[in-house]
Structure 1
Amino acid sequence: MYIAVSSWSLRDHVNKDFSLPQMAGFVKDRYGVNAVELCSMHFRNTDSAYLDEIKRELQEAQASVVNMPVDTGNISNREERKRNFDLKVIKLWMDIAAYIGSPSIRVNTGMQEPPYDLSITAASYKELADYGEKVGVKVLLENHGGLSADPNNIVGLFEQVNSPYFRSCPDFGNFAPDIRYEGLQKIAKYADIAHAKTYDFDENGEVAEFDFKKCLDILKESGFDGCLSVEFEGRGDQYEGVRRTIELIKKYW
């Protein structure tokens, strides 16, 4: 297991206190962590000069980017023209990931009006996974609302796509509370990385809203030994939230 820090955890500070390219150096200096997850929303540009700056800062920090969460498009759209346009945009982000050395991007399932037709979503992920095989970038599915709010939909998609370039990114916080642990158990076996999500902490330094240790245990029991990306989403100080999350991971892993 190794730890990364997501730019989402420091959303109020990235591109203010430090630029996105500088984040790897900042995280390594402050937390001793040499891996970052760079959200597409925090990219100020996507031309080669900006991407070269990211690569240079990563190299200088002796750090790596583990994943790029991409929040664009609806790959489940029933309208083929709109869906295909969104897939082209996502493929551009896959090219960006390949350029800066990210091994994966996270692509949301999107949403349909029920009754759902998962075959549309599966075909989209299959197309992206096939493209990912060409450029060396995996496509990750996170439990992130929409169709992915139901873990059974996620399992169904993995069964249909059946590609080593299509993996999951379990998020500790995103399933509804009544299915959180069951949902994580169902999707953990497909995991490539995981989002170690935290919210605000109680007086004992634990996550107040759910059992963080139980989430880690589910991953360990599945055989997962990859990257845990810190996603602090609390209302408190984000610098402190990242620190406390790292401490919890080290305490329980």
Structure 2
Amino acid sequence: MSLARRQFLQTAAATAAAMATVPRWAFAGEKKVVPYRISLAEWSLHKAIRGGELKNLDFARVSKEEFGINGIEYVSQLWEDKQAGSEYVGKVKQAAADAGVESVLIMVDSEGALGDADDAKRTQAIDNHKKWLEAAKELGCHAIRVNAQSSGSYAEQLALAADGLGRLGEIADQYGLNVLVENHGGLSSNGAWLAGVMKRVGRPNVGTLPDFGNFCISGRGTPEAVWYDRYQGMEELMPFAKAVSAKSYDFNEDGDAIETDYYRVMKIVLNHGYSGWVGIEYEGSAVGEYEGIKRTKALLEKIRDAA
């Protein structure tokens, strides 16, 4: 057993002992209040969807029937028409209602750089995201996930990204929605930089969606790859987190993730008082998407049940 796993279980045991003294009213309907809920990111099924085995409109049903997951996170680039037209959004909403699942958020890509150095392009990117805010509102989501692409020096990119995100956050506030930034390459995968952007924005509805695995700043898949320490990054991003992405690739014979120490990273998540959705985002290739989702869910459940 790894040191991190022993430490997590020791913390969980201490928590359980403390819970024994908690009054009965601290439990809802006599059930233990769980520290987080498990959702499914649509990207976990991107191969099946892009391969024609599934459609975006199948996502809600498959999440519930195949995996017993009640919260779903859409990916804009996997929608059939790649846009948030009202008629199509109605179909997505009905599919979720028919399956009995909750629409958590929409991950939005390819709508322009919110930190573009060109003022006009940055404004256009902000405007491009409005239709996804409208779709998220209609679906009952709490947020859209966006990216913080920019260019220039460290400080210049921080200022530009903060401007674009802050302005989008003002618009999102009108919809009662959050704007969440994922560590997704470039400086956004530098935990200190993205935390600095959040502090610069200073809006309660603009936060982060920390992803366990997306801490490669450049050169991913090459010998020259530059990586930011994922555990340090999680510590820096969790104070602003309103969603969490449980990225997974491969697993060992005990069912534990190989690339990320889930016990260590989930201890960080819980130590920051997080109790929202933790979204499964399987990207491995050793097993198929369905099996990878099931293994990630089993690992998250094992950790949750010990907490």
Give the TM-score band, short-chain normalised. Answer: over 0.9
Amino acid at match of 2:139: I
The residue number in structure 2 matching 1:40 is 76
Amino acid at match of 1:74: A
Q: CA 1:153–1:24 in 2, change beyond 3 Å: closer, same or farther?
A: same
2:7 maps to none
Cα displacement string for residues 38-70 of structure 1 (whole angstroms, at most 9, x for unaligned residues): 000111123222111111111111111111111
User: Stretches of 4+ moved more than 3 A in 1?
Assistant: none
1:100 Cα deviation after fit:
1.9
Asked if 1:8 corresponds to 2:43, the answer is yes
What is the CA-CA distance between 1:113 and the residue it aligns to? 2.9
Q: How far apart, CA to CA, are the structure 2 residues paired with 1:21 and 1:35?
A: 15
Instruction: Show structure 1 runs of 5+ residues with no match.
Output: none
| Unpaired runs of at least 5, structure 2 | 1-35, 217-226
Tell me the residue number matched to 1:250.
301
How far, CA to CA, are the matches of 2:115 and 2:164 in structure 1? 7
- The answer to whether the aligner puts 1:203 opposite 2:241 as a matched pair is no
* Alignment of structure 1 residues 226-241 onto 2, 5 Å: 226-235=276-285, 236-241=287-292
- State the TM-score, normalizing by the size of structure 2: 0.79
The answer to whether the 8 Å contact 2:117/2:150 transfers is: no
Displacement of 1:210 in angstroms is: 2.1
RMSD of equivalent CA atoms: 1.4
Give me the TM-score of the superposition, normalised by structure 1.
Answer: 0.95
* Counterpart for residue 82 of structure 1: 121
Secondary structure in structure 1 of the residue aligned to 2:264: helix
CA contact (8 A) 1:75 1:87 kept: yes
What percentage of residue pairs aligned between the two structures are identical?
30
Tell me how far apart the structure 2 counterparts of residues 247 and 99 of structure 1 sit (CA, whole Å).
31
1:97 aligned onto 2:136: yes
Question: Is contact 1:22–1:54 with CA below 8 Å preserved after alignment?
Answer: no
- 1:185 paired to 2:235: yes
C-alpha displacement of 1:36: 0.6
Task: Determine if contact 1:5/1:27 at 8 Å carries over to the other structure.
Answer: yes
Q: Whose radius of gyration is greater, 1 or 2?
A: 2
Query: Which whole-Å CA distance do the structure 1 matches of 2:153 and 2:67 have between them?
Result: 44
1:104 shift after superposition: 0.5
Match of 2:99 in 1: 61
Correspondence 1:20-39 to 2 at 5 A: 20-39=56-75
Between the two proteins, the alignment pairs up a number of residues equal to: 253
